[in-house]
A and B are shown apart, each in its own frame.
Chain A
Amino acid sequence: MILNKEEQKVYKKEIKDVAPKTKHISTLLRAFFTGGTICCIGQGVNQVLGILLPSLTEEDRGGYTTLLMIFFTGILTAFGVYDHIGNFGGAGSIIPITGFANSIVSQAMEHKREGIIFGICSNMFAIAGPVIVMGITASVVVGIVYLFL
């Protein structure tokens, strides 16, 4: 039995009445503080690098910081800590580079049993892939626009 469109709309409204609501304010606050903390740690790593390796240019330091943040996330994901951070912080932990790293490492761990090539390699970017495609597409579009400006 399939309902028609009108009846489907009525049913969706009925669901809204009984469904528990997302607690927007607490979710937003948690995301804000989690994201902020991750960025502060990144800034801290950047400054420590500046003290330890004074010969690095500012641009290089940025690159090294990103690498280190990805490395830390990989470790935290492997030890099963990052999913708790993500569950608490939501978008606050997904949007920084650490969320991107987590999506790749978690997929790789999940598909370890299917072997290196068909398991890890082919599934690693299943979640992160769209982000990379979007990034590359956007850069091409912006590049073409820039060419004509």
Chain B
Amino acid sequence: MKNQTVLFRSPVPVAETATIAGPKEKEGPLHAYFHYTLEDDLLKQDSHEHAEIRLHVGVLKQLLNRAKLSPQEIDCAFAGDLLDEIIGSNFAMRELDIPFFGIYNACATFGESLILGSCMIEGGFAERVTCSVTSHFATAERQYRYPLELGCQRTPLSQWTVTGAGATLLDKNATSKIKITSGTIGKVVDYGIKDANDMGCVMAPAALSTLRTHLQDTGRTVDYYDKIFTGDLGYSGSLLLQKKASETGIILHNHEDCGNLIYNRIAQNVESGGSGACCCGLVFNGYIYDQLQKGRLKKVLLMPTGALLSKTSSLQGESIPAICHAVSVEVIE
């Protein structure tokens, strides 16, 4: 480990991915890359929380099916979501016979799980690890904002929480050429923003801080990567990141944001773009993994960003801290 970055001596292969996308994501530009899409976000359950649990069980079962493995063959699972006390993951795991770590870093949970999973494998403690996240628009709205049927307007800075589930299988012995080569563990950054509708601008400084540390620690430049994907900064957050980065001498010409990619921002009426733990989970496991497999992208830096607030903290007048982890995924022949 160098400063904040873990450099894997033997890069960890990404063996398989699985995604389940919700109805709105199905209408979005990336629909062709998702493995399974839903017609109805309630999944015939009696509450949206139950639906999110079904999503998580579903995506892990799908992952195991695709990799032709049984739950007993998985050494451990890292999973997280946005619900209080991460019940989405905890309750999903009672149906699966896999040793389980529940993790939470808001929308950066997926990055955290990839780094932790890779460390487990690189350290020789595990051979097969799953990393999975879910998020659901209806449960996030209820927890952080207002009831679904309340007639109120969304501010132009607000973002739309992605409904879906994404899972990745890391396997030491897999033949996959797609490998995780390094991971930078982010630090919590607080720029004093209190507007809970303005997640992109809250998280942009965290993304910049992690990006700069990553480049410093690895001795790479931005040009080393074909694409740098941030998690869910949305439209204004991405602009802010690019602007702040250029002030420090980093020209982010190859930057994309998963929140911008997943929806057609104007036509789908999502204001500033997508957000949520599964925003980068869906884009990475669906779109980016596909592009890496086809060789269209060779070196990718994935930087899921998370705003670490709760409804109580924002009501008590606390500002919103943010975190960002970076994972470099490369095709190694």
- Specify which chain B residues have a CB less than 8 angstroms from the CB of A18 in the assembled complex: 201, 236, 239-240, 243
Query: Judging by beta carbons under 8 Å apart, are B193 and A106 in contact?
Result: no
Q: Closest CB of chain A to B272's CB: distance in Å?
A: 7
Query: Judging by beta carbons under 8 Å apart, are B154 and A87 in contact?
Result: yes
Q: Give the interface size class of chain B.
A: 20 to 34
Q: How far is the CA of A40 from the CA of B27 in the complex (A)?
A: 38
The verdict on A50 contacting chain B, using a C-beta distance below 8 Å, is: no
Closest residue of chain A to B190 (Cβ to Cβ) is A2
Q: B134-176: contact bitstring with A at CB < 8 Å (1 yes, 0 no)?
A: 0000000010001111111111110000000000000000000
Query: Judging by beta carbons under 8 Å apart, are B148 and A14 in contact?
Result: no
Query: Judging by beta carbons under 8 Å apart, are A90 and B201 in contact?
Result: no
- Specify which chain B residues have a CB less than 8 angstroms from the CB of A106 in the assembled complex: 146-151
Which residue of the partner chain, among B46, B149, B155, B235, contacts A109 with CB atoms under 8 Å? B149
Which residue of the partner chain, among A19, A82, A93, A113, contacts B149 with CB atoms under 8 Å? A82
Which residue of the partner chain, among A12, A105, A113, contacts B193 with CB atoms under 8 Å? A12
Q: Please name 17 further chain A to chain B contacts, defined as beta carbons within 8 Å, in addition to the given A3-B190, A82-B151, A83-B150, sorted by A numbering.
A: A2-B190, A8-B192, A11-B191, A11-B192, A11-B205, A12-B193, A14-B240, A18-B243, A19-B201, A77-B151, A83-B151, A85-B151, A94-B152, A99-B151, A102-B150, A109-B148, A127-B147
A-B contact pairs, 29 of them (CB 8 A): A1-B187, A1-B188, A2-B190, A2-B192, A5-B192, A7-B191, A12-B193, A14-B243, A15-B198, A15-B236, A15-B240, A18-B239, A19-B156, A19-B157, A20-B157, A21-B156, A77-B151, A82-B149, A83-B148, A83-B152, A84-B151, A85-B151, A93-B151, A106-B146, A106-B149, A107-B150, A109-B148, A110-B147, A113-B49
